[in-house]
């Protein structure tokens, strides 16, 4: 079965695509043009209630295809517990600040949003604090959940990629262990493939 | 083994406590006095990096004790997928608005926070939209993930309880299916036990 990934080439869709790639699951993308408001179509909304369910989709495919591709949930219940802890950290402590920076530094113009300089400043300061904790964590472990790559790392790929494409790249580059971690995970063939797909004309 | 639940009697700790109760896992609470800033103690911070990991803890114990108590993750991989979807909805779409209402309507005074009327109004309006989708969902299914109680419902207990204790109780009461769902899940012995513990002197 070929999995259909609906959505624009946004961070959420990329999160699912890199997961399917690591799990060696074939997929096709069905573009949804957000600039034309297609993500509000009743037909599209039937497919999902909210637009923040990419982590649930990643968990589902990682479990369904547990026996193939890269193990992304950890090998034991204890390892999965730590993967879930850092997935939660990404969703609750990292994402909203990274999202604000991406939207206001990269996408304000195409989306017709007024750039909010105060929000950029606040998000940057909050992300600094979060990344200081990451720096400490990654000084002891190669990956967030331990010495194995997992959904916890993967979930950071789309929005960290946005950040390193802005003037705020220093947030990643100036932290030795965060920077090494980013170089490591962003050079995985799965993520390179997703980045290439993003560059391709639809 | 008796599980130690560290923290103040806040929504996050209650989320973990109701989960352990449903899973028939013995636990004790270790109070942490946030009014005295004890949650910033280095010793306490060693236990967790951030304060938003209660859902990861719920997942861990639900999996570790899968064979005892109530099944909270769904019986199949597909059911778990839907549980994860609605857990994500709770974390990403419900929680922050419910949290803002709870903080500014119930806890502004004890925490010495200035009540933010604009934030209350915005959070109320956003929560209305979210709960309209819940109403539709719950008109078709008894619980969020289907016809079985799960972590997805459970994760809503602490902050929905706060809301029904404010003047904004109508958000729940005026929606037929959301109201019936709330009556159902909040009358579970596990939740009643946690509410009783909250009333007890520390």
Domain annotation covers residue A93: yes
Whether B98 and B152 map to the same domain: the answer is yes
In a domain, A196, yes or no: no
Angle at A159 between CA A158 and CA A161, to 5 degrees: 70
Residue B30's pLDDT is 86
Last residue of a domain, which of A53, A71, A89?
A71
A200 lies in some domain: no
Chain A: residue whose CA lies nearest to B80 = A60
B6 membership: H or E segment, kind and range: strand B3-6
Cα–Cα distance, B136 to B112 (Å, whole number): 38
Chain B residues with CB under 8 Å of A141 CB are none
Cβ–Cβ gap A81/B60 under 8 Å:
yes
pLDDT of residue A186: 98
The complex's ipTM works out to: 0.86
* Claim to verify: residue A18 and residue A100 sit in the same structural domain: no
- Domain of residue A124: give its range: 77-189
Contact A56 B87 (CB under 8 A): yes
For residues A29 and A63, membership in a common domain is answered with yes
- Report CB contact under 8 Å: B53, A88: yes
Q: Which pLDDT value is given to residue B51?
A: 63
The answer as to whether A128 is a domain residue is: yes
Say whether B89 and A53 touch across the interface (CB within 8 A): yes
How close does chain B come to A93, measured CA to CA in Å?
A: 8
Query: H or E segment at B47?
Result: none
The one-character DSSP state at A39 is G
Same domain, B49 and B94: no
**pLDDT confidence of residue A160:** 98
Q: Provide the CATH number for the domain around residue A158.
A: 1.20.1050.10
> Is position A51 within any domain?
yes
If asked whether residues B154 and B56 sit together in one domain, one would say: no
Residues A177 and A90 both lie in one domain: yes
B157/B180 same-domain check: yes
Residues B175 and B195 in one domain: no
CB-CB neighbors (< 8 A) of A50 in chain B? 88-89, 92-93, 133
CATH code of the domain containing A44: 3.40.30.10
The per-residue pLDDT for A199 is 81
In sequence order, what DSSP letters do the residues of A61-108 get, joined into one string? HHHHTTTSS---S-SSHHHHHHHHHHHHHIIIIIHHHHHHHHIIIIIH
Residues of B in contact with A133 (CB under 8 A): 49-50
Contacts of A83 (CB under 8 A, 6+ apart): A72, A73, A74, A145, A150, A151, A152
**Best B53, B62, B65, B137 residue to mutate vs chain A (most A CBs within 10 Å):** B53
Q: Which residue of A has its CA nearest to B49?
A: A133
pLDDT for A42 equals: 65
User: How close does chain A come to B156, measured CA to CA in Å?
Assistant: 16
Residues A96 and A164 reside in one and the same domain: yes
Cβ distance B85 to A56 less than 8 Å, yes or no, reads yes
Q: In this structure, are A61 and A111 located in the same domain?
A: no
The predicted model gives A37-49 an average pLDDT of: 65
- State percent of chain A over pLDDT 70: 90
pLDDT averaged over 10-residue windows placed end to end, chain B, 202 residues: 84 92 94 71 65 88 96 97 95 94 92 93 97 96 98 97 96 98 98 89 54
Query: Rounded distance, CA B84 to CA B152, Å?
Result: 7
Residues of B in contact with A49 (CB under 8 A): 89, 133, 137
- Average pLDDT of chain A to the nearest whole number: 91
Tell me how many degrees the CA angle A94-A30-B90 measures, rounded to the nearest 5: 35
Q: Which residues of A touch B88 (CB under 8 A)?
A: 50, 52-53, 55-56, 91
pLDDT at position B160? 98
Same domain, A85 and A39: no
Domain final residue pick, A22, A56, A71? A71
Question: pLDDT tens digits, residue range B60-94?
Answer: 999 999 999 999 999 999 999 999 999 999 999 99
Q: Residues B120, B53: one domain? A: no
pLDDT at A202 over 90: no
Instruction: List CB contacts (< 8 A) between B1 and chain A.
Output: none
How many angstroms away from the CA of A158 is the closest CA of chain B?
Answer: 17
B60:A91 CB<8 A? no
Q: Which of A57, A64, A91 sits opposite B91 (nearest CB)?
A: A91
Mean per-residue pLDDT, A176-200? 94
Q: Give the domain-ending residue among A56, A71, A86.
A: A71
- Tell whether A19 is covered by a domain: yes
pLDDT at B64: 96
Q: Could you give the number of structural domains in chain B?
A: 2
For residues A199 and A192, what is the distance between their CA atoms, to the nearest angstrom? Answer: 11
Q: Do B60 and A49 lie within an 8 Å CB cutoff?
A: no
């Amino acid at each position: 079965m070929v999995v259909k990934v609906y959505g624009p080439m946004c961070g959420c869709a990329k999160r699912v695509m890199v997961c399917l790639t690591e799990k060696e699951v074939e997929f096709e993308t069905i573009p949804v043009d957000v600039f034309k408001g297609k993500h509000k179509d009743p037909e599209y909304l039937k497919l999902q209630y909210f637009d923040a369910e990419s982590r649930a989709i990643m968990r589902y495919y990682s479990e369904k295809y547990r026996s193939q591709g890269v193990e992304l949930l950890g090998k034991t219940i204890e390892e999965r517990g730590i993967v879930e802890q850092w997935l939660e950290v990404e969703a609750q402590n990292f994402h909203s600040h990274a999202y604000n920076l991406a939207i206001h530094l990269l996408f304000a113009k195409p989306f017709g949003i007024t750039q909010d300089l105060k929000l950029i400043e606040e998000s940057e300061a909050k992300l600094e604090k979060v990344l200081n904790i990451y720096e400490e964590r990654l000084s002891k472990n190669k990956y967030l959940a331990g010495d194995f790559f997992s959904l916890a790392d993967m979930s950071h790929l789309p929005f960290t990629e946005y950040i390193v494409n802005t003037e705020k790249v220093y947030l990643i580059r100036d932290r030795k262990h965060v920077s090494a971690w980013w170089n490591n995970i962003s050079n995985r063939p799965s993520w390179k493939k997703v980045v290439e797909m993003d560059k391709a004309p639809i």
